[in-house]
Structure 1
Amino acid sequence: MSNVETDPVEVRCGTEVDGERATGAPRVEVLTPRDVPLGGPRAMAVRRTLPQRTRTLIGAWCFADHYGPDDVSDTGGMDVAPHPHTGLQTVSWLFSGEIEHRDSLGSHAFVRPGELNLMTGGYGISHSEVSTPRTTVLHGVQLWVALPEEHRATARDFRHYVPEPVRTDGAEISVFLGSLAGAASPVPTFTPLLGAEIVLRPRATVTLAVDPAFEHGLLVDRGTVRLADALLDPAELGYVHPGPRTLTLANESDDTARAVLLGGTPFEEEIVMWWNFIGRSHEDIVRAREEWENSSERFGAVEGYPGDRLPAPVLPNATLTPRRNPPRH
């Protein structure tokens, strides 16, 4: 998905200072989202939990939009024209609906519930995303992963994977990246990552073994979920610093709850993120924007989309400035 804000903020991220490792129940920071209209007030709105002032990265996860359930017969659904990406991977995961994906690698695929679509931008790629005519309700998450310096100019790539859900007492877990609960995704990543959908039965509690080197974020989609001692409502994200070897999730409601668990080792490089580009400097962003506006071969062309590409927003009249995670206490 494109970040189609008309005035996107610049984000520069760096590693945070490592603090005390948690003992016992982990400390959970609760992050609340902000609403962002995609393409204007009549377009689909999303709830954005990353990046924000109090946290810009969870592992290499640098962007998280949560949207729906939207009745697309009323809202018009998703129609994101061809747009560019650099220095990142896009991770598409749906709960309901269907999205048609086309990219400049030549990929033509569909995003469906329970199926991972992962696109690697690397040096440069462009793609379009359109909800299909048979979609009635659109509901899911769109996530970005920052690529480390040694791989940020890697070639374009596209992967599709359908995980087999793992059923435990009280939960059903679909691991689309990394490993959890005895399941492992074969999709390669450039840094250690975890991505999984977790469905909790009513009043169920599950304790999951996790990598203590990872920081984690639990994004609640449906229901009320307790993560350690923090109660998370829909669209809230609970952040846990590295250290714990287990995470306990409890569904506090009489209905099924659903959440997405993200994790990874702390990303130790500084990045600058503006619009759909990730670079290492102001100059990287300026160059990428100019090449997109000039139809450079860097991004290729998307075939089959019935319309024009998205123009890049105007850069701010200033050097893109640093923005970091706060130091740990």
Structure 2
Amino acid sequence: MSEARIDVHRDPTRMLETLREDVREGLSARAKWLPSKWFYDARGSELFEHITRLPEYYPTRVERDILRARAGEVADVTEARTIVELGSGSSEKTRLLLDAFAARGRLSEFVPLDVSEAALAASAEAIVADYPGLRVHGVVADFTEPLESLPGTPPRMVIFLGGTVGNFPPGERAKFLASIRSALTDGEWFLLGTDLIKDVDTLVRAYDDAAGVTAEFNRNVLRVINDRLGAGFEPEEFEHVARWDDRNEWIEMRLRARRGLTVNVPGADLTVTFAEGEELRTEISAKFRPEGVRAELAEAGFTLRRWWTDPAGLFGVSLAQARD
């Protein structure tokens, strides 16, 4: 059996410096914030996989149903030779696409890209075992960094699932979509999952489950800072908050200090104070309207070729083509 190839494009020293810069900037701000990408150490990845199986968390379940119904059409329309998955994780939903492409004998290479080397290696080896003859070329990298080039035999299809694109504020999202377009040649493909606007109760419950798994996931960002920068956060002193921002049309996750706190972060040469009830924003998750998805793709240089959703209109999957 062949082995997966894993290329490491992540510089641990640079990653630590980026964390240090983000912590200094975000925790020194008047309205404190941290980027959501720092949730994901090994424990954070495990917690998120647990979240995707919770009854309240509809995006994974609904997106999977859409892909199950449309994977064959994706294969027929794109005739892609390579699938590149950004933020691949376990690649569980992606197997629906791999199955459809394998049935048509068209796919030659799968390129999963993820920031976690351990998770990527495990997932890549599982794909190698289950899809004989498929080349698997894993890339350890941060997809929030500019995507200067992507491996693979053309035509390629980049996929970005789970509604994760909503974690970018609008300006950063535009840059991210443009970076994907710049990594593709004219005529190549982009498959994008977007969570859609719906009733507020359904949205909030997806980010504040009854079992408290999302709360633990949210607090994990503090544990990451403790581990990597020697900080003295007591995660249980922060309450999980999820709320809908109607003006920006996104969910915000926050951590609210249960009491006044002073936290030392020696690895960032920083001391942070929290008043009782003060909040730290840890994630935004924008929700979309179909016309907004089309417009943002067009602005980045893509033409929307297919738009699919579930019967209830909870989630959307777009198939777009890079245009000249």
Larger relative CO (CA 8 A, sep 6+): 1 or 2? 1
Give the TM-score, by structure 2 length.
0.25
* Structure in which a larger fraction of residues adopt strand: 1
* Structure in which a larger fraction of residues adopt helix: 2
**Which of 1 and 2 has greater Rg?**
2
Give the TM-score, by structure 1 length.
0.25
